[in-house]
Amino acid sequence: MFTKSYQPVLPIRDHRSQLVVVYSYTLLLSCFVTYCFYQFFPLFNAWIGYSPLQYIWYENNPENFQKDFMGEQLGYYKYSFVMWVYPFVYNLTGVDPELIQLVYIFVTTLVYAVSYLWLSKTLIPDAKWYTAIIIVSFILLTRILDCDFSRYGGLAILNEGKMHAAAVSVCICCLVFGLKGKWVYAGLTAGLLSWIYASYGVMCAFVIGCMVLVDLRQFKTKELWIGIISFISLFLVWEIGVLQIGQHNYEILDSKTWVDWVRFGNFHYFPFVIGEANRVFVLEHASKLCPTLTMLLLVISNLRVQKVLGRNYRKWVYGVVGCSFLTVLGLLASLLPFSVSLIQLALPRGVSFMMILCLPIAVDNLLSIITSKNVFLSLLALLVLVSPFVGSYGFPVVGVWIISMAFIFNDDHFLLARKWCGFILLISMIYVSWLVLAKSILVMNAGFVGPFSSYGVFCFILVFFFLYRQNKISSFKAVSLFLIFSFVVFVSGNILLRNNNYYKKSYYIDFKHAQKWANKNTHANSLFMNDPTHSYGWRDYSERSSYGCLREWIHNCIVYEQNAKLFKEGLRRVRLLGIDPEEYLQRSLRAGGKSVSTEYSELFRDVREKYYSLSDDHLQSLAVQEGIDFFIFEKKQLKHDVNLPVAYENDHYLIVSTQFASKVESSIANQ
């Protein structure tokens, strides 16, 4: 049923001309993706906040943020060595920070793609040239690797210009050194990774440690111990010597209070309490678990896996098992929160490491099936291969199920592999059945090809496959047609659609304009109070202090540093609006955590309602008590006219000044 051998005609390693093609394509694709990111990351900066721009302003002009609620935590990027490049380059050249961010995004995207090519070549040394091109297309044009249960965005964070993108590239290099058994380089790379992103460094070192267990005799070698000492030394120098972790001057919040409040405002650390109890792993995680299971099915059913990996096979297996262990440990730590430090490592991200190790093997399996003699399975494998470019849920489960069943019921294949494939197939079927019973709208997306143009894709596949099978087009033209189609779908379905609707684009453009106005027309030490239910953005283009938002008051101030004093101040600020967040938390706790989503949403709704209902007298009283210079309102949310001096106005936002406004040039800009 399958072709047992997939022998390449022109191996990449033996043909420099093909290497030129692959890396030229990678360079052009990185440029294209960076251009697409540039269309919306300034809006991302303005609305979401905590961008590299804010870090530059905080490092250069800390006096501007003396009144800011988050205080010293605004400089949290100092914990990543690679982020030091932003203030360094800005101070050295004086160029626009957005340009620095754009160049950073391009460089990290390119390095990420090249490092992944290196990993792919290590895992599949005999791959054809177009295998490399397809893999690069996957990692840059799809969200195939975005299976992080902690919801850090997977590899989508390439577009933010932060430390995560650089960390992923270094992590991939570290995994390659581990697979090759170069323990000294692996230790040094893991140590460097801890300087970029400490939790990634620890997790990657653990995975490398699992690879070492393949041969316990390695512990007798000098190279391994040099690698271990190198990692530990670099880690300690950075964490204790440079950052002085643990040497804080604030009161630490007790563990129980931390767990209760972080779980209540959870976004990353507690995967099982995102949403209602009966929706856990239905709405939030269908897009994570389904691709993980289908990836594993494609990897296990790959007949070439042991032959392709050769002597790296056992290390690869131990690495995948190590990633799985980290993921399960992280999920258990969130269910049984016995250690705050363990929770803060966000170990469920281990599944992202596993997907990084598995994707080349899965693609190799699909290509081997496409070139097999079974026409039905070839057509199905081609559909599965194209689907991630159309939808956003990885390889479709229905197609992968059929491929897996063909593998399981073929007696010529290894019995152990068939058993494991059957076990994961059963789990996948049970889970998707649960989605059906839960009436999840994600079933179609996870089960076939996603929400965009499914019938058009199927028709394209039929025509493409017919021409290829009838030898009407060459392999080069077939691959070119495949890539052109993928580009069209990606641009129309993911880039243009996202840009046109990205966070209510006109709102965020106006919000960015308001920030720029504040930067040019207000005193440097001015304090602004924005809608508390808005996101964190304000400081990035205004370079002005923020009174804070609801999530900063009850979540961000403790999620990383457990600052008890700042947390109490945050609770006080919520209560100034006449709302006690403790009541919402306690209702959630009395319900056993089953109403986290409902109570948290109600808290946000009530805070917004209260803010936009504040009378002029209440606003002035709040300004006097807290020293607020300006209030920012979203105009359509206002419940009544605000009779305070208008400092700035555009289509969507209104900024009014108080008696504490130090310096304002009133400017009504209808844009």
Cα 191 off chain centre by: 22
Helices 183-196 and 163-180, packing angle to 10 deg: 170
Per-residue confidence (pLDDT) for residue 498, from 0 to 100: 46
**SS3 at position 436:** helix
Write down the pLDDT at residue 280: 44
Going by C-alpha positions, the residue among 165, 39, 40 that lies closest to residue 105 is 165
What confidence score (pLDDT) does residue 440 get?
56
> pTM for this structure?
0.87
pLDDT value for 6: 40
Residue 178 has a pLDDT of: 95
Alpha helices in 470-556 (DSSP H): 475-490, 497-501, 505-521, 539-542, 550-551
Which secondary-structure segment (H or E) carries 140? helix 129-141
What's the confidence (pLDDT) of residue 209?
95
Which pLDDT belongs to residue 662? 46
Write the CB contacts of 368 (distance below 8 Å, at least 6 apart in sequence).
Answer: 2, 3, 6, 302, 303, 304
Contacts of residue 17, Cβ cutoff 8 Å, sequence gap at least 6: none
Residues across the chain: 671
pLDDT score of 9 = 36
Q: Is 534 helix (H, G, I), strand (E, B) or coil?
A: coil
Do the bridges between strand 653-657 and strand 646-649 make them parallel or antiparallel, or are there none, so unpaired?
Answer: antiparallel
Q: Taking CA 198 as the corner, what is the angle to CA 193 and CA 202, rounded to the nearest 5 degrees?
A: 80
Beta carbons of 74 and 68 less than 8 angstroms apart:
yes
As averages over each run of 10 residues, the pLDDT of the chain (671 residues) reads 39 66 90 83 88 94 93 85 94 94 94 95 86 89 82 68 91 95 96 94 96 92 95 91 70 90 83 52 64 90 76 89 94 86 90 93 90 80 81 77 85 76 87 69 48 48 59 60 59 46 71 95 93 93 95 91 92 95 88 68 92 92 93 92 91 88 46 43
Residues paired with 545 in a beta bridge: 527
At a CB cut-off of 8 Å and minimum separation 6, what does 356 contact? Answer: 116, 119, 145, 168, 171, 172, 175
> Which tokens belong to 524?
């440097």
- For residue 490, the model assigns a pLDDT of 54
| Confidence at residue 167, expressed as pLDDT on a 0 to 100 scale | 93
SS3 of 409, please? coil
Q: Which pLDDT belongs to residue 10?
A: 38
